[in-house]
Structure 1
Amino acid sequence: MTTLAIIATLNYHLPQAADVLLAVEAIPMADQRLLADLLKVKGDCSPLTTIEGMDGLGRRTWLHAEGRIDIVYTATVAIDRAPMAIAGLDTVPHAELPPAYIQYLMPSRYCPSDRHENFVTTRFDGKSKGDRILQMADWIYTNIEYAPGFSGTGSTATDTFISHRGVCRDFAHLLIAFARAADVPARMVSCYGLGIDPPDFHAVVEVYLEGRWHLIDPTRLAPEEHLVRIAVGRDATDISFMTIFGTANLISQSVKVEESGAGSGDTSS
């Protein structure tokens, strides 16, 4: 078991009043137990309103604000998760998929999986779907250069496939597109990760094999057993840590994740 201490700090200025949707809180799950967490927002804003996250996991928070807002999220999370092991695993029949997961077979805004079906069919030949996902992840790690600042917020999996460059969200989008092209349900996951360099919000992938979701990080910046999930969704559209319905100017932003000696505690929010 690994216990992580997390501090995320977001400082923004909103020139006009705007609605803001935050997704920065760790999801309480069986393999990542929240020992303590607290979200604080300082500035000229409305009371916070929380809503359920996608697939019923975690929560997101609405606020209405103007001017400077200072957001601080702190958490202590105990992770009890085995290393990723999907070799030999297969998908369940489509008709047995939970209805909410059917969308993760389909192309989405940043993951146009239909454009990659020919490449996936001819390039990856593992005996099981899990074997093929591992081949896809190896191909991406080998062939895509991790290049901060190269891609933009509008970059799709196809753009990354062509340019062979990107950051964590681009690596995740490409693996999702490949997986869906092979009829494997795949969703994007925002997370905190131990050892991410430079420290920031991180994006990885979950694939649905043999009735459960399995984490996989195609960048290999952090082992899956050192990741803390924040939000899940079809692609970057659904997992953004901060969605602003208006305009905002970044003042500063930081994410810090360290191992903690904490062993127990109460969750607060």
Structure 2
Amino acid sequence: MWLHSSCFLEFNIPVPTPFLLMLRPRSGRQQWVAREQYVLSPSVPVVEFTDSFGNLCQRLVAPTGKFSVHTSVDIETADASDTAPGAPFVEVQHLPDETLPFLHPSRYCESDRFTEMAASIVAGRAAGYDQCTAIVDYIRNTVRYTPGAGQQIISATELNELGSGVCRDMTHLGMACCRALSIPARMVVGYLEGLEPMDLHAWFEAYVGNRWYTFDPTQASLQGGRVAIAFGRDAADVAIYTQFGDPVDLLSMYVNVEQRPGPPL
């Protein structure tokens, strides 16, 4: 399917402020970027680089006053994520080198604290994809999803204690449990067609059956087109914007995802 996705951010900048943005999706195995637009107002010099996870990042200094970022993209993607019940566990010694960073504990995914819990959740399940499904089902059935309530990032351990969180937090818990079972798991931030309420969304991918598969603790199914913007070990790696220095006010944020009948002309 073809999707048109857009994001608008407006800030009030008290003093010139360095920013790191991560708002450009890249073409890959599951998506193809046909057209994109990236508008800064007022216009300022930008330096783009690719981080260690392959994400497209932009560095800039926002001037004093109101400053806005507006991005949009026309992109071709599948109308549902692939599934593979029974896809096998890949032994660590056979994993590709690039998957290894996603096995370790990270700031918000304390996988070393979930060994017993993860083993209990997946008891009786075939190693690999079916274990990931059991983890997602457990989170969906035991954690209350509260979209719009997550101003502060919380870790997998904190979510496990609180019992409620946003998509980002539930993703942390899913990844921590997967990594506790030696299954590489990485966070994805992007757009999801039909998400209610519409916003940026977080889910995770796990490496089983010799490829990455999508898992989403907040959604009952994997239907709907997805646009991946950024990949990382946890929320610390995939923030769509990071500002440095004095705090700035985010005045407004707007996300829109629409299905298009065909490719852009």
Most deviating of 136-145 and 212-221? 212-221
Please give the root-mean-square deviation of Cα atoms over the aligned residues, in Å: 1.8
Relative to 1, partners in 2 of residues 1:241 and 1:224: Cα closer, same or farther, differing over 3 Å? farther
Q: How does 1:25-36 map to 2 (within 5 A)?
A: 25-36=24-35
Relative to 1, partners in 2 of residues 1:69 and 1:203: Cα closer, same or farther, differing over 3 Å? same
Does the CA-based 8 Å contact 2:191-2:201 persist in structure 1? yes
User: Aligned partners of 1:48 and 1:154: how far apart in 2?
Assistant: 28
- How far apart are 1:162 and its partner, in Å? 1.4
Q: Is the counterpart of residue 6 in structure 1 residue 24 in structure 2?
A: no
The corresponding residue for 2:157 is 158
The amino acid across from 2:115 in the alignment is E
Counting aligned pairs with the same residue, the percent is 29
The amino acid across from 1:157 in the alignment is A
- How far apart are 1:108 and its partner, in Å? 0.5
Runs (4+) of structure 1 moved beyond 4 Å? 149-152
Unaligned stretches of 5+ residues in structure 2: none
Aligned length: 262
Does the CA-based 8 Å contact 1:44-1:66 persist in structure 2? no
The corresponding residue for 1:169 is 168
Q: Is the counterpart of residue 121 in structure 1 residue 119 in structure 2?
A: yes
Decide which of 93, 96, 99 is 2:97's aligned counterpart.
Answer: 99
Relative to 1, partners in 2 of residues 1:112 and 1:152: Cα closer, same or farther, differing over 3 Å? farther
User: Aligned partners of 1:30 and 1:50: how far apart in 2?
Assistant: 22
User: Aligned partners of 1:207 and 1:144: how far apart in 2?
Assistant: 20
The corresponding residue for 1:64 is 61
Most deviating of 155-164 and 73-82? 73-82
Q: State the TM-score, normalized to the length of structure 1.
A: 0.91
- How far apart are 1:122 and its partner, in Å? 2.1
User: Aligned partners of 2:251 and 2:139: how far apart in 1?
Assistant: 34
The corresponding residue for 1:251 is 251
- How far apart are 1:195 and its partner, in Å? 1.1
1:235-260 alpha-carbon deviations (Å, 9 max, x no partner)? 00010110111221111110000111
User: Aligned partners of 1:9 and 1:156: how far apart in 2?
Assistant: 27
Decide which of 45, 49, 52 is 1:51's aligned counterpart.
Answer: 49
Does the CA-based 8 Å contact 1:172-1:204 persist in structure 2? yes
The corresponding residue for 1:191 is 190
Secondary structure of the residue aligned to 2:188 is strand
The corresponding residue for 1:217 is 216
The corresponding residue for 1:74 is 72
Does the CA-based 8 Å contact 2:147-2:197 persist in structure 1? no
Does the CA-based 8 Å contact 2:192-2:224 persist in structure 1? no
Q: State the TM-score, normalized to the length of structure 2.
A: 0.92
Relative to 1, partners in 2 of residues 1:28 and 1:89: Cα closer, same or farther, differing over 3 Å? same
Unaligned stretches of 5+ residues in structure 1: none
1:19-56 alpha-carbon deviations (Å, 9 max, x no partner)? 111111122113211111111111263x1111114432
Does the CA-based 8 Å contact 1:36-1:76 persist in structure 2? yes
Relative to 1, partners in 2 of residues 1:195 and 1:225: Cα closer, same or farther, differing over 3 Å? closer
Does the CA-based 8 Å contact 1:194-1:222 persist in structure 2? no
The amino acid across from 2:250 in the alignment is L
Relative to 1, partners in 2 of residues 1:185 and 1:223: Cα closer, same or farther, differing over 3 Å? same
- How far apart are 1:14 and its partner, in Å? 1.8
1:158-197 alpha-carbon deviations (Å, 9 max, x no partner)? 1111111001001100100110011100000001111111
Does the CA-based 8 Å contact 2:33-2:76 persist in structure 1? yes
1:100-159 alpha-carbon deviations (Å, 9 max, x no partner)? 321111111101011111111123121122111000001111111111354442411111
